[in-house]
Structure 1
Amino acid sequence: MTLFDFALNLLLGLALGTLGGLFGIGGGLIAIPALGVLFDLDQQLAQGTALVMVVPNVLLALWRYHQRNRINPRHALALALSGLLFALLGAAWAVTLEAERMRLGFVVFLLVLALYNLSRLYWRPAPALTHLRYPWPWLGVLGSGAGLLGGLFGVGGAVLAVPVLTGLFGTTQVVAQGLSLALAAPSTGVTLATYALHGHVDWLLGLPLALGGLLSISWGVKLAHALPEQVLRGLFTVFLLLCALLLGLKT
């Protein structure tokens, strides 16, 4: 890798890190289609390489969210432990699948999630609660499903957890994004280890992305706390549709 290539990858990491902090997803969701389109990586290699950036980004973003809006440790632990166990299963499954089928499945997943978020923009917004609408052990069910999808698609399950936490559990968007990072932190780590053991990680490409993400993710977190709830939710929906479009171009 030349110095010029390193600089370009660092700039890409800066952009991805900002988006990751803004939406509470560590940047992996946009990194995967970007790596597939810009670097022609297959789906598993794109997901594994994106995780090199995602893991440190998620940890830093989690800390930043916790500083600004304290995360309930019991809620975070319920999500993290269940997510970790099922992420192991999802990652082990992912490395055995055909790359093109994986990509198509990821596109469908993003479209369904985007349509759900789009529909919520037209619902009458329910007041955010100071407590969970359902007892906290139900977070383990959410963590299990999100962890499985996170291990399978390499995005830590955060993209699924955010709309479920706001829509079903009654949290605000910012609280949901903080809890989704608590879910993603351990599951992305074990998913990265699984992908690396099977040779699905380009470390030379992933490390400058990770460095750029670490430098910029705090900007995204700060912006997330400054934007109105509906604006943040609308941007997240557009973001999901863009990712699906980029990946759809490669299928």
Structure 2
Amino acid sequence: MLETPLGWGLLFVLGSFTGVLSGLLGIGGGLLMVPALTLFGVPLVQATATSLVGVFLSSISGSLRNFRAGELNWRVSLVLAGFGIVTAQVGAWLGDQLPDALLSIGFAVLLLLTIYLMNLRQRLQRQQAGSQDATKTVSDSIRWKPTAAIGLLAGVLSGLFGVGGGVVMVPLQMLFLGESIKAAVRTSLGAIVAIAISGLAQHAWNGNVLWIPGLCLGMGGVLGAQFGTRLLPRLPDQTVNLLFRVFLIGLAVYMLLRGLSAWGFLNWV
């Protein structure tokens, strides 16, 4: 079906929707593209590789808009991306070695861990309320080391799961760099541009990319990302946080059930 005009149209619509999420939540869009492609019968490693085409195009679209609006901290994005590019190659290689069932369950665990990290950051923010000076001193003294570590981890996950890395970068930036969710979303989206192209290059070398479906996703993503980045400033932080959590929980449940089914525990997908 993916090789028909109907399939291309569906992928364009999917790319547009994930592009909105990309600009709004800073997650690159792969979190939705990967499971959606598996519904079309695409093996997970190919879905991972193909989604990175859409992730790259949608993230560059949204980041250009943020840059022109003066809302992108490009220096932090470059540090995240510089370290993420290296480990994205490692993640892409691992994705070729692991079975679909293990990747699916690992993906679900990653999503649930992300929710936990976001909740932890909120608790820390409440505990540190009233001591802003001390918080700033600590943040300044450790900024580059945690930024590099976040980039390294995001790169592995980008290549392994076909995500841009934002699913990890956004909560970790909030947790260790003290950024607001909107600032973390924009910085993460900027870093995803370089991280995604690195993982995509490795998957292309391995012959895993379905180029026409990927370009259909990407063209839709370019359009959607423009809308998402314009919508982000209009929403309260609490709304963005809630959307992020609901999105992650739904995908975690789907990927967990998919992994259990692949291992023969469920007759569902």
Q: What TM-score do the two structures reach when normalised by structure 1? A: 0.90
Q: Trace 1:94-243 onto structure 2 (pairs within 5 A).
A: 94-118=95-119, 125=126, 133-134=139-140, 135-138=142-145, 139-243=147-251
Q: Trace 1:2-21 onto structure 2 (pairs within 5 A).
A: 2-21=4-23
Structure 1 portions without partners, runs of 5+: none
Please say if 1:57 is aligned against 2:55: no
Structure 1 residue 156: Cα displacement = 2.2
Structure 1 residue 124: Cα displacement = 5.5
Aligned counterparts of 1:202 and 1:83: Cα–Cα separation in 2: 23
Q: Deviations over 1:53-94 (max 9, x none)?
A: 111111111112223343334322221111111112222222
Superposition CA RMSD, Å = 2.3
In the alignment, is the contact (CA less than 8 A) between 2:58 and 2:224 conserved in 1? Answer: no
In the alignment, is the contact (CA less than 8 A) between 1:114 and 1:240 conserved in 2? Answer: yes
What letter corresponds to residue 16 of structure 2 in structure 1?
Answer: L
Aligned counterparts of 2:5 and 2:181: Cα–Cα separation in 1: 39
Cα–Cα, structure 1 residues 142 and 132, in superposed 2: closer, same or farther, change >3 Å? farther
Structure 2 portions without partners, runs of 5+: 260-269
Aligned counterparts of 1:141 and 1:210: Cα–Cα separation in 2: 29
Cα–Cα, structure 1 residues 235 and 122, in superposed 2: closer, same or farther, change >3 Å? farther
Structure 1 residue 47: Cα displacement = 0.7
In the alignment, is the contact (CA less than 8 A) between 2:118 and 2:174 conserved in 1? Answer: no
Aligned counterparts of 2:166 and 2:155: Cα–Cα separation in 1: 9
Q: Trace 1:30-41 onto structure 2 (pairs within 5 A).
A: 30-36=32-38, 38-41=39-42
Cα–Cα, structure 1 residues 7 and 112, in superposed 2: closer, same or farther, change >3 Å? same
Q: Trace 1:71-90 onto structure 2 (pairs within 5 A).
A: 71-90=72-91
Cα–Cα, structure 1 residues 156 and 10, in superposed 2: closer, same or farther, change >3 Å? closer
**Corresponding residue of 2:262:** none
Q: How many residues align?
A: 250
In the alignment, is the contact (CA less than 8 A) between 2:72 and 2:187 conserved in 1? Answer: yes
In the alignment, is the contact (CA less than 8 A) between 1:75 and 1:136 conserved in 2? Answer: no
**Whose radius of gyration is greater, 1 or 2?**
2
